[in-house]
Amino acid sequence: MIRKLILGGAAIAVLGGLVAGKDVFSYARTGICSVRKHLRHEVPVEFEIERARHEVERLLPEVRRSLHLIAEEQVEVAQLKKSIARRETALKSQEEAILTMSSDLKDDDVRFVYAGHQYSRREVQKDLAERFNRFKIAEETVKQEQQVLAAKEKALAANRETLETMLSQKKNLEVEVERLEARVRTIDARKQVHGLAVDDSQLNRVKTLIATIEKRLDVEDAVLASEGDLHGLIPMEQHQVEDPEDVTAAIDSYFQTDRADRMVHADSQ
């Protein structure tokens, strides 16, 4: 399939060069886009999801690299804080010494004793000037280091936030991939349900049999009902029917004879 598409695209390009002339590149680009679009639709969704999962996993080395850089920045920040703390302690000590020597020079003494050693006024003045110059340089250095520390802490906070965002987005992408996989499974299940072929021939045969039995019973019921109707009709055959008058005469004769017999029987007793 792919080979046919490529050959077809090449044929279109050649034909376009002959027919379209300078517009051949436009036709070629359109053909390539069409081929890419077709190929993209030919790729199974499961493969694309697996590719997305692989791309998400490729974020892990970058996350680890970022973790390493943040760890290095944390160490540098900690070391810089210690350095600034030591310098500030030294500056505090130098400040106290400078203020002490400056206060001593305000007196009219020509000799000064420090740490068991005696120094002339000139020596103290020279030492004080040197101390003051070094103090200003050290103080400026501390200020610069404090600026560097602030910048490093700001960068460290930004990098931590970036890393947290990356980790959060990575987790969200993993959840999205899992959601897509679940959706694919649902769609596959629906396809299986829609494509399920049920053999209902036996069911239809049973239904037909029941309908046939039902019909036979209906016919028998109809026959029985018809026979009952025939028995209820006035018979059309000729039968000997007694005259009502003959019947009454017979009754009178029967009962009169029976009464006479009973009387005779009574008298005999």
Q: Residue 174 belongs to a domain with what CATH number?
A: 1.10.287
| pLDDT at 198 > cutoff 70 | no
* 233 assigned to some structural domain: no
* 235 assigned to some structural domain: no
Are 185 and 129 members of one domain? Answer: yes
**pTM of this structure:** 0.49
| pLDDT at 102 > cutoff 60 | yes
Are 33 and 61 members of one domain? Answer: no
Are 30 and 157 members of one domain? Answer: no
Which among 148, 174, 194 is the end of a domain? Answer: 194
Are 9 and 62 members of one domain? Answer: no
* 259 assigned to some structural domain: no
Q: Where are the alpha helices (DSSP H) in the chain?
A: 2-19, 24-42, 45-57, 59-105, 121-194, 201-231, 244-268
Number of domains within the chain: 2
* Average pLDDT for the chain: 77
Are 31 and 158 members of one domain? Answer: no
Mean pLDDT of 189-215: 73
The per-residue pLDDT for 1 is 47
The full DSSP string for 205-263 is HHHHHHHHHHHHHHHHHHHHHHHHHHHTSPP-S------HHHHHHHHHHHHHHHHHHHH
Summarize pLDDT for 222-262 with one digit per residue, the tens: 777 766 555 555 555 555 555 555 666 776 677 676 565 65
Please write down the long-range contacts of 177-186, taking CB distance under 8 Å and 24 or more positions apart: 177/49, 177/52, 177/53, 177/56, 180/49, 180/52, 181/49, 184/45, 184/46, 184/49
* 204 assigned to some structural domain: no
Are 190 and 93 members of one domain? Answer: yes
* 234 assigned to some structural domain: no
* 127 assigned to some structural domain: yes
Which among 144, 170, 194 is the end of a domain? Answer: 194
Domain that holds residue 83: 55-194
The residue that leads in pLDDT, 241 or 99, is 99
* 80 assigned to some structural domain: yes
| Contact between residue 20 and residue 27 where contact means Cβ atoms under 8 Å apart | yes
Are 147 and 27 members of one domain? Answer: no
CA–CA distance, 228 with 218 (Å, rounded to integer)? 15
| pLDDT at 157 > cutoff 60 | yes
* 212 assigned to some structural domain: no
Are 86 and 176 members of one domain? Answer: yes
Are 38 and 70 members of one domain? Answer: no
Are 19 and 144 members of one domain? Answer: no
